Amino acid sequence: MTELRILSQARWPDPERADPDLPDRLPPVPGFSASSFNPLVAEAAERCLRARHGAAPAPGRTALLLASASGDRATARAIDEAASSGRRVPPLLFFQSNPNAVLGHIAARWGLTGPVVAISPVEAPPGGLPQDALDLAALLLADGDADHVLIVAAEQADPGPGERADTSEPGSTEPADAAEPGASEPGHASGQAATGPDDGRTGTDRAVAVLVTTA
């Protein structure tokens, strides 16, 4: 198996942020709504690529590899709730339910020209990289499909029973069903779930991004 060398890495939440007692806020991603999963993946990737390249575009052929055992919980729940209640499901939710959608956003922003892959690993170590992802990154490099591989491992906090996602479409003036106390503001994604503060326990979205190449 090809050995890997780490070029840069980043985490969400940022363990070195100025005030660890305050929740870290995920920047919204244009074209994505109702869930923090896609902003979580995009921000972890952004920080990792900036740490290596400074600014877009990234040189060479870089593959994108997303590993998530749970996937986009909030979008899946929003679609399920809208469908079961007979409400119209915003088409955007179907688009963003495919993990390749946010990977395409990252690839376009940074000019990444390598393969784009999304997997659901057998095991997802908290705050770490699944072995499945490392093995696949090594294969992509060994086969000559890419010069670098950006691995993003992301797990979204379970919204918990009773919490509902905002299923209103961007720009809509109609009140969303999720406009309840504790809900996120439209267009604003939070890395902190409504279940509690960012205290290192369950209820916090987590991601780690690592840019690797051959050793």
Mean pLDDT of 155-178: 51
Does a structural domain hold residue 177? no
Tell me how far apart the alpha carbons of residues 10 and 188 are, in angstroms, rounded to a whole number: 22
Banded pLDDT at 184 (limits 50, 70, 90): very low
Does a structural domain hold residue 189? no
Banded pLDDT at 17 (limits 50, 70, 90): confident
Tell me how far apart the alpha carbons of residues 64 and 68 are, in angstroms, rounded to a whole number: 13
| Number of residues that this document lists for the chain | 215
Does a structural domain hold residue 190? no
Tell me how far apart the alpha carbons of residues 81 and 70 are, in angstroms, rounded to a whole number: 18
Instruction: Give per-residue pLDDT as tens, 125-159.
Output: 878 999 999 999 999 999 999 999 999 999 988 76
Does a structural domain hold residue 194? no
For the chain, the domain total comes to 1
What CATH code is carried by the domain that includes residue 144?
A: 3.40.47.10
Q: Under 8 Å CB-to-CB from 112, ≥6 apart: which residues?
A: 58, 61, 62, 63, 64, 106, 150
Q: What percentage of the chain has pLDDT greater than the value 90? A: 48
Does a structural domain hold residue 82? yes
Highest average pLDDT, of 7-21, 43-57, 113-127, comes from 43-57
Tell me how far apart the alpha carbons of residues 62 and 145 are, in angstroms, rounded to a whole number: 9
Does a structural domain hold residue 8? yes
CA 21, 166, 189 angle in degrees (round to 5)?
35
Tell me how far apart the alpha carbons of residues 146 and 64 are, in angstroms, rounded to a whole number: 10
CB 208 within 8 A of CB 10: yes
Tell me how far apart the alpha carbons of residues 86 and 12 are, in angstroms, rounded to a whole number: 36
Q: Give pLDDT, residue 23.
A: 60
Q: What percentage of the chain has pLDDT greater than the value 70? A: 76
Q: Is the pLDDT of residue 186 over 70?
A: no
Q: Give pLDDT, residue 19.
A: 67
Average pLDDT, the chain: 79
Per the structure, the complete domain to which residue 126 belongs is given by 4-14+25-161+201-214
CB 59 within 8 A of CB 17: no
Cα torsion 201, 74, 22, 208: sign: positive
Q: Give pLDDT, residue 86.
A: 82
Q: Give pLDDT, residue 22.
A: 63
Q: Under 8 Å CB-to-CB from 198, ≥6 apart: which residues?
A: 13, 22, 23, 24, 191, 192, 204
The token pair at 200 is 């290192």
Does a structural domain hold residue 130? yes
pTM of the model: 0.76
What 56-59 contacts at long range (C-beta under 8 Å, 24+ apart), as own/partner pairs, is 56/109, 56/110, 56/111, 57/110, 57/111, 58/110, 58/111, 58/112, 58/148
Banded pLDDT at 123 (limits 50, 70, 90): confident
Does a structural domain hold residue 166? no
Q: Give pLDDT, residue 170.
A: 43
The token pair at 129 is 């990289």
